[in-house]
Structure 1
Amino acid sequence: MAAVFDKPTIRQRLAPMLQGFDGPLAFAVFLLACAGLLTMYSSGYANGARFYDHARNMLLAGSIMFVVAQIPPQRLLSFAVPLYLFGVALLVAVAVFGITKKGAKRWINLGVVIQPSEIMKIGMPLMLAWWFQKREGQLRPLDFLVAGVLLAIPVGLIMKQPDLGTALLVLAAGMAVIFFAGLPWKLVIPPVVLGLVAVGLIVGFESQLCADGVRWPVLHDYQQQRICTLLDPTKDPLGKGFHIIQGMIAIGSGGLLGKGFMQGTQTHLDFIPERTTDFVFAAYSEEFGLAGNLFLIVAFLFLVLRGLAIALEASTLFSRLLAGAVTMIFFTYAFVNMGMVSGILPVVGVPLPFISYGGTAMVTLGMGLGILMSIAKSKRLVQS
């Protein structure tokens, strides 16, 4: 009789919530989180609050991941359209009466100041995965055109703010869904070839295109300057080229094994701008060297490959497309950040996942991880 009234233990209550969590994915995130905490302690040593804030942001991201992981993919499907429409409405509101800081109108005050473009990093792949799920088995070229329009609206609004970094991440997530949905190669190859030709022409005619007084259409002046600075940062070594030059010096000075934890001179003598945010990879490279970089790259590759494996094993088209797109968000974050700090891509505001300081980006990462965990969990529960 007493057994009827026995209350379940905390472990028994948590067991159903933890059941089905993807261990390999969690392990990859754990390794990156450890690297991020070590790097933040060193690079943010002059500002002690940065380390504790970064740890708090990680705990917040972990909590969000845990909550989102409890939502089954079928339920996530119902959030797609409302979240997309809400995000687009906020982007329009930003364009009309948003808050301008440092020449960019990216924020809006809703009692709390928020950056609506962050919503679209998750809202965009959700919407496109919902669209292709509805069209499953009857896809036509027109359906890809509609998907392109759905993608172009938020990307255009974000670029107008201007925020090239976030626009790039939203575009990458959306294009991943469209590609995984079965976009024909004949539509993929031509723009890729045109892009490569354009890059070759820009590099070949850099001296003429980047001459004083020459203005490029479409791009803002600061975006043109970033590309020209990438091509030749030595033209303005103490100005626009300072970030790239100091980043490359820090990476190169790390050598094979690095200078050691807390021993980075470029970092602690304040030569690396934004050393806890966008350029944290330079601070990490200086102290941990090539060996540390290889560890970081392998950890990110493992995370990406595990995410793609989860996508491949998902039971529905919606889950496969969403998992694939979220995984590509992680890849784009890491690739763009490492590329810009290393001097092979223009400088844009893209953080390095789990390593860079930043609360908003960490929330987005937590939501993305939660979605992957939810999809992996639903598959394992079905199999059991």
Structure 2
Amino acid sequence: MSVVFEKPPLWQRLRPAFEGFDGVLALAVALLICGGMLVMYSVGYDNGSRFYDHGRNMLIALGVMFAIAQIPLQRLSALAVPLYSIGVALLVAVALFGITKKGATRWINIGVVIQPSEIMKIAMPLMLSWWFQKREGALRPLDFAVAGLILLLPVGLIMKQPDLGTSLLVMASGLAVIFFAGLSWKLILPPILLGAVGIVTLILMEPQWCAPDVDWKILHEYQRQRVCTLLDPTRDPLGKGFHILQGMIAIGSGGIWGKGFMQGTQTHLEFIPERTTDFIFAAFSEEFGLVGVVCLALALLFLISRGLKIALEGPTLFARLLAGAVSLIFFVYGFVNMGMVSGILPVVGVPLPFISYGGTAMVTLGAGLGILQAVARARRLVQT
């Protein structure tokens, strides 16, 4: 007598791979993806295959998220040191014999051309979370000092390329881990106050500091120009100030309700530069107005708050630090992009999460989501 085993349907075989996924986090991502595809269709329909490429990048990011979500936290922890070491080694290689484009040396050819600084957006919080996990229960001031050195080494190499936007994101991810690990407010407040005093002084003395013959020493000339343009974009309205001024005009012209889908004049008459990438927020604001901007901000905050909740419920210190840092990375992405387009921050190359066009950034965001889902899955497994 033969026994026949019925093959289970596909959904039953795939179900274990999705068990433990955080549905609320997935909903937040879905809202942002829908918003990104909608605005990309409007701003990119007459720009080659941008809309279809954006959809492809979204699918790749979701694939990366799904793959990383399957990795146990113990294995993620084991990957921290090798990934950080490889990232730093590649940054050193870039400094020695990297590829230069438009005055910046950020790429290296290892069979394929890659930008190693992107690796550090994930490697940095992994490394510092691993570092503090190893010292759980016995943290000393020296441990925070070592963490600072771990952070400053790749940040310094990235700034030297120069790449202010990526160095800002890497530094923010590392500082988030150090903050969540318990860094004293006595050490946090002095740099904040010093920075505030410096900003106020710079604003008050803008004519003297931004004179053509003044050399800031610590910043590249193009970085100095960005800061000075932020303080007074009308200084060069058809040159360096053009991006900020056109972005502000587009945002203001959207009003409360916006001009309507595919009706943005600043956008479709091509006054907004980089309208599918860094300045897509200006196009979004023009077409969907204040109401659309509020909805977008709420969706992003929804994602961040859910990520922080996952971090709070993480089963280990490593999981909590890592998830908390990744959640704040999404905040820094959104805040810096919206701030630079609105004219309150210098223009740097930081995309708007799941809205801006970009392959490498989308993969990085997908990896961050995968880490959050991995922590959520580990939490569910511990509970059951």
TM-score range, shorter chain: over 0.9
In structure 2, distance between residues paired with 1:3 and 1:35 = 52
1:347-373 CA-to-partner distances (Å, cap 9, x unmatched) read 000000000000000000000000000
Task: Provide the identity percentage.
Answer: 73
> Which residue pairs with 2:66 in the alignment?
66
Greater mean alpha carbon deviation, residues 145-154 or residues 4-13: 4-13
* Unmatched segments (≥5 aa) in structure 2: none
> Which residue pairs with 2:27 in the alignment?
27
> Which residue pairs with 1:330 in the alignment?
330
Any idea what SS the aligned residue of 1:346 has?
Answer: coil
- For the pair 1:352 / 2:341, whether they are aligned, the reply is no
Q: Which runs of 4+ in 1 moved over 3 A?
A: 1-4
> Which residue pairs with 2:39 in the alignment?
39
**Pairwise CA distance, 1:6:** 2.3
> Which residue pairs with 1:247 in the alignment?
247
Q: What is the letter of the counterpart of residue 176 of structure 1? A: A
**Pairwise CA distance, 1:137:** 0.7
**Pairwise CA distance, 1:3:** 6.3
In structure 2, distance between residues paired with 1:204 and 1:70 = 53
| 1:226-305 map, 5 Å | 226-305=226-305
In structure 1, distance between residues paired with 2:379 and 2:173 = 23
| 1:76-95 map, 5 Å | 76-95=76-95
1:144-197 CA-to-partner distances (Å, cap 9, x unmatched) read 000000000000000000000000000000000000000011000000000000
| 1:119-198 map, 5 Å | 119-198=119-198
**Pairwise CA distance, 1:46:** 1.5
In structure 2, distance between residues paired with 1:30 and 1:4 = 41
In structure 2, distance between residues paired with 1:143 and 1:131 = 8
Any idea what SS the aligned residue of 1:5 has?
Answer: coil
In structure 2, distance between residues paired with 1:190 and 1:3 = 74
In structure 2, distance between residues paired with 1:238 and 1:290 = 27
**Pairwise CA distance, 1:75:** 1.1
After superposition, the Cα gap between the structure-2 partners of 1:143 and 1:2, relative to the gap in structure 1 and judged at 3 Å, is farther
| 1:302-381 map, 5 Å | 302-381=302-381
- For the pair 1:214 / 2:198, whether they are aligned, the reply is no
In structure 2, distance between residues paired with 1:19 and 1:175 = 32
In structure 2, distance between residues paired with 1:236 and 1:320 = 46
**Pairwise CA distance, 1:2:** 6.7
> Which residue pairs with 1:203 in the alignment?
203
In structure 1, distance between residues paired with 2:124 and 2:275 = 30
1:85-110 CA-to-partner distances (Å, cap 9, x unmatched) read 00000000000000000000000001
Greater mean alpha carbon deviation, residues 208-217 or residues 274-283: 208-217
Any idea what SS the aligned residue of 2:106 has?
Answer: strand
Q: What is the letter of the counterpart of residue 355 of structure 2? A: I
TM-score (norm 2): 0.99
TM-score (norm 1): 0.99
CA RMSD between the two structures: 0.9
1:63-101 CA-to-partner distances (Å, cap 9, x unmatched) read 110011011111100000000000000000000000000
In structure 2, distance between residues paired with 1:3 and 1:381 = 34
1:21-58 CA-to-partner distances (Å, cap 9, x unmatched) read 10111001000000000111111122130000000000
How many pairs are equivalent? 384
- For the pair 1:382 / 2:382, whether they are aligned, the reply is yes
In structure 2, distance between residues paired with 1:77 and 1:244 = 42
* Unmatched segments (≥5 aa) in structure 1: none
Q: What is the letter of the counterpart of residue 280 of structure 1? A: I
After superposition, the Cα gap between the structure-2 partners of 1:2 and 1:102, relative to the gap in structure 1 and judged at 3 Å, is farther
In structure 2, distance between residues paired with 1:197 and 1:357 = 36
Q: What is the letter of the counterpart of residue 257 of structure 2? A: L
Q: What is the letter of the counterpart of residue 120 of structure 2? A: M
> Which residue pairs with 1:52 in the alignment?
52
After superposition, the Cα gap between the structure-2 partners of 1:27 and 1:208, relative to the gap in structure 1 and judged at 3 Å, is same
In structure 2, distance between residues paired with 1:327 and 1:246 = 31
